[in-house]
Amino acid sequence: MSRELAKEVLSIEAEGIMAVHDRLGDEFEQAVDLIMACPSRLVVTGIGKSGLVGQKIAATLNSTGTPSLFLHPVEAMHGDLGMVAATDVVLAISYSGETSELNRLLASIKERSIPIIALCGRKDSTLSRHAIVTLDVAIPREACPLGLAPTTSTTATLAMGDALAVALLNRKQFRAEDFRKNHPGGSLGARLKVAIREVMLTGTKIPSVSVLASLAEAVAELNAKNMGAVFVTGEGKELRGILTDGDIRRLLSSQANVLDVSLTEAMTPHPLAIASDLMAADALSIMQQHEITVLAVISEQGELVGILHLHDLLGKGEFRFLI
């Protein structure tokens, strides 16, 4: 019974996020442009459950390269408004758009000609009228059976905040090493600073064959190591190429007779590689930039000494980033 109810709640919340997804329009680009043009900070404000969501949004923005602070509307009206500079942009959160404490604050902010972005479920609300841009997070229904407790609405609001953070991250070309700089301490910071040689797979765990091997031998190694790729090396173990699952699929779908194709014809020469003395975060940046899942690790002489798989960095291996 409880499990079925839980599934229903998750379905309702997913329905709410998809409703927001389907309505998303040019106003989102306007909001991103406004924040990108801001020379100082994004001030996030809201009260109650919206305030708690706002605190999380501000934290996510800070960690992904958009300087932000959370401002409590009541405390702001008793002096904390001094934290807001004329060059800031305000992101105000209220599902109804009629939260009295928030709207009193926004009237003061508007008097200072500070631009306001509304994160709201009603475009005809007082909050929306204060704002330059309104991000509509209206949902069909709350997951709460009474229709009273903010459930789907807060989930949709949080998801919109995440969408903003990721869009801004992309615009700013924020990289893994930038993320590392914002997390110098704690478990995450320590893991991002680990040298590649400490986490790479070595020895017989590396899927590799000689450049003199046949295509069939390379495919056998590909299947045996199950890493999605096999590296091809020269006589001195120097990295010469890579053969991936995708290469095999493309080869099979072509008109060529597979039995007549050599390994050097099927492989991709000069694959991306990284030095073992760099950091794991540097490897992650390369993988993200080039949208690859495996990366060769080479010595100063260009010899293949290890391999990194994205799973080892992000969750399936023993080395994990707790992002």
Whether 298 contacts 273, CB under 8 Å: yes
Q: Does a structural domain hold residue 108?
A: yes
**196 and 158 in one domain?**
no
Kindly tell me if the per-residue pLDDT of 190 is higher than 60. no
CATH of the domain at 238: 3.10.580.10
Q: Does a structural domain hold residue 107?
A: yes
Q: What are phi and psi of 279, to 5 degrees?
A: -90, 155
**Average pLDDT of the chain, as a whole number:** 87
Kindly tell me if the per-residue pLDDT of 316 is higher than 50. no
Instruction: Using the Cα atoms of residue 45, residue 47, residue 49 and residue 50 in order, give the sign of their dihedral.
Output: negative
Q: Does a structural domain hold residue 261?
A: yes
**201 and 144 in one domain?**
no
What pLDDT, in 10s, does the model give residues 132-148? 999 999 999 998 888 77
Q: Does a structural domain hold residue 322?
A: no
Confidence class for position 249, pLDDT limits 50, 70, 90:
confident
Which pLDDT belongs to residue 172?
A: 84
The domain in which residue 146 lies consists of 2-174
Q: Does a structural domain hold residue 242?
A: yes
Which pLDDT belongs to residue 317?
A: 43
How many domains does the chain fold into?
2
Q: Does a structural domain hold residue 23?
A: yes
**166 and 297 in one domain?**
no
Kindly tell me if the per-residue pLDDT of 233 is higher than 70. yes
**124 and 90 in one domain?**
yes
**104 and 49 in one domain?**
yes
For 20-57, letters b (16+ CB in 10 Å) and e give: beeeeeebbeebbebbeebeebbbbbbbbbbbbbbebb
Kindly tell me if the per-residue pLDDT of 320 is higher than 80. no
The predicted model gives 266-285 an average pLDDT of 88
Which pLDDT belongs to residue 181?
A: 62
**10 and 154 in one domain?**
yes
CATH of the domain at 124: 3.40.50.10490
Q: Does a structural domain hold residue 170?
A: yes
Where does a domain end: 174, 200, 225?
174
Where does a domain end: 174, 203, 231?
174
Kindly tell me if the per-residue pLDDT of 47 is higher than 60. yes
The predicted model gives 23-30 an average pLDDT of 94
Confidence class for position 255, pLDDT limits 50, 70, 90:
low
Q: Does a structural domain hold residue 278?
A: yes
**160 and 50 in one domain?**
yes
Find the radius of gyration of the CA atoms of the chain: 26
